[in-house]
Structure 1
Amino acid sequence: MATHAVRVSGLVRSFGDRNVLDGLDLAIAPGEFVAILGRSGSGKSTLLKAVAGLDYDVTGDGDIAVAGEIAVAFQDSRLLPWLRVVDNVELGVRPGRGTAALAEVGLEGRERAWPSELSGGEQQRVALARCLVREPRVLLADEPFGALDALTRIRMHDLLRELCAKHQPAVLLVTHDVDEAIELADRVVVLHEGRIGLDVPAHDADRTHLLRALGIGVAA
């Protein structure tokens, strides 16, 4: 078994003359859930895109090693509106697996629905099913619950925990929500000016400490 599901070494990613990532090093163990926090422009989404191999127009260097298949979940579910729900889930994989995947995310019986017939939370459930039907070694998630209401977010947190416990992918979650990071992750990483400013186990993460690491003032 690979020692690391993801290993990033000396990662630099630049836009023009600005290094958004500046020699960043990060390792994620198989099955580990890592949440990435940071202020806007700190490099969170740039890191995720680099690991996913989606930063085509960005200059830079460094090494990225990923042990196995990657799946990516975005804030927008990115379902194809002209395909039924089950066909969205099975896109690019062997037909016949989508029904079980939809049942896993609580959408049994909705296989033939159109994406437009689903709520925002249901669409994100389909997006998770589409990711996990591939049994990825690494799940990258870029604020996947950012557009959902508070109650739906809580339900999606519970679902994600259950699915990760079953499938055991390594997870890299980008979020602006400190509480979400502490609740879901094994480890919380704070990016600051393209480097890691703080890296702590979630059970040791203090909300006030994290907010201060993010440069957000906390009232006494």
Structure 2
Amino acid sequence: MATHPGGLTSTEAPAVRVRDLHRSFNRSGGVLEGLDLDVAPGEFVAVLGRSGTGKSTLLRALAGLDRDVDGYGEIEVPVAVSVVFQDSRLLPWKRLLDNVTFGLRAPDADERGRRALAEVGLAGRERAWPYELSGGEAQRASLARSLVREPQLLLADEPFGALDALTRIKMHELLRRLCEVHRPAVLLVTHDVDEAIVLADRIVVLDGGTVQTDVRVELTQRSPVAPGFGELRDFLLGRLGVQEHLGADFIAPGRRRATSATPS
């Protein structure tokens, strides 16, 4: 079967299609300079890049939240899109169930909200106030609020960046499980290379306002000690310009070390 860039088969329409996307904040230059990207239905794509390369700008463009930014290009996304931010953005004057179902117009909204809270491990906390939640619990509630709408596309802008290391590991496990159940296409913006490898089917690196690296994660295990994990991490760090992390013997994925005959 023929395969197109982005993991799409020849008969499959993308969940996200971006062509020649330009975005700029001033006259001196752009943040995105002709970016192209496809994301297949159900595919989990992580976006890496140094600060200022346009990661969050891309996410906001896909979410339709950049109306005051100059630019042009073609963007196609599903009708049902949800966004998860680093800040949970829970409304402090509403209880947890009301936060999760806020804006959801459905006769069974409360029932769906309770199911979503149970999915993220917050069953029984429907009447809690946001100030009563830990940081991890608040992000769980934010995930429940996003997934209760059964989105076809989930956009996540560093949703675990403010959490401690142990809580982040638990949230990674939760997000992977939820995505297996709900199967949205996911675009995750992160600065954490390990997080990208643990979660994503595919990782793209932005530089110069375009996608400079696009690599599929083909690891049987997603543990940092698993075979191939460190090699992929070092490859991505190199693409991010973090050369000091790479040893002299580093070989990029898919490359073989050159051999030379030993003089006799």
TM-score interval for Structure 1 and Structure 2 normalised by the shorter chain: over 0.9
Output aligned runs, 1:80-119, within 5 Å. 80-93=91-104, 94=106, 95-96=109-110, 97-119=112-134
1:20 aligns with 2:35: no
Structure 2: gaps of 5 or more residues: 1-10, 220-230, 248-264
Deviation at 1:39, TM superposition (A): 0.2
The aligned counterpart of 1:30 is 41
The aligned counterpart of 1:51 is 62
Instruction: Give, in whole Å, the separation in 1 of the partners of 2:216 and 2:55.
Output: 18
Q: 1:135 aligns with which of 150, 155, 158?
A: 150
Q: 2:78 aligns with which of 67, 78, 81?
A: 67
1:182, 1:203 within 8 Å by CA — same for their partners in 2? no
The aligned counterpart of 1:11 is 21
Q: Percent identity?
A: 65
1:2, 1:67 within 8 Å by CA — same for their partners in 2? no
Q: 1:216 aligns with which of 242, 245, 251?
A: 242
SS at match of 1:159: helix
**CA deviation profile, 1:17-76 (whole Å, cap 9, x unmatched):** 221000000000000000000000000000000000000210000000012310000000
Q: TM-score, normalised by structure 2?
A: 0.81
Q: 2:188 aligns with which of 161, 170, 173?
A: 173
Structure 1: gaps of 5 or more residues: none
- When Rg is computed on C-alpha atoms for both structures, the one with the higher figure is 2
The count of corresponding residues between Structure 1 and Structure 2 is 220
2:234, 2:246 within 8 Å by CA — same for their partners in 1? no
Instruction: Give, in whole Å, the separation in 2 of the partners of 1:146 and 1:183.
Output: 15
The residue type paired with residue 131 of structure 1 is S
The aligned counterpart of 1:161 is 176
Q: TM-score, normalised by structure 1?
A: 0.98
Q: CA RMSD in A?
A: 1.2
Instruction: Give, in whole Å, the separation in 2 of the partners of 1:67 and 1:123.
Output: 27
Instruction: Give, in whole Å, the separation in 2 of the partners of 1:16 and 1:85.
Output: 40
SS at match of 2:83: strand
SS at match of 1:203: coil
1:149 aligns with 2:164: yes
SS at match of 1:215: coil
1:5, 1:68 within 8 Å by CA — same for their partners in 2? no
Deviation at 1:193, TM superposition (A): 1.4
Instruction: Give, in whole Å, the separation in 2 of the partners of 1:207 and 1:98.
Output: 38
1:4, 1:67 within 8 Å by CA — same for their partners in 2? no
**Which one is further off, 171-180 or 193-202?**
193-202
Deviation at 1:219, TM superposition (A): 4.2
The residue type paired with residue 87 of structure 1 is D
**CA deviation profile, 1:92-136 (whole Å, cap 9, x unmatched):** 113322111100000000000000000000000000000000000
Instruction: Give, in whole Å, the separation in 1 of the partners of 2:78 and 2:98.
Output: 27
Segments ≥4 residues shifted beyond 6 Å: none
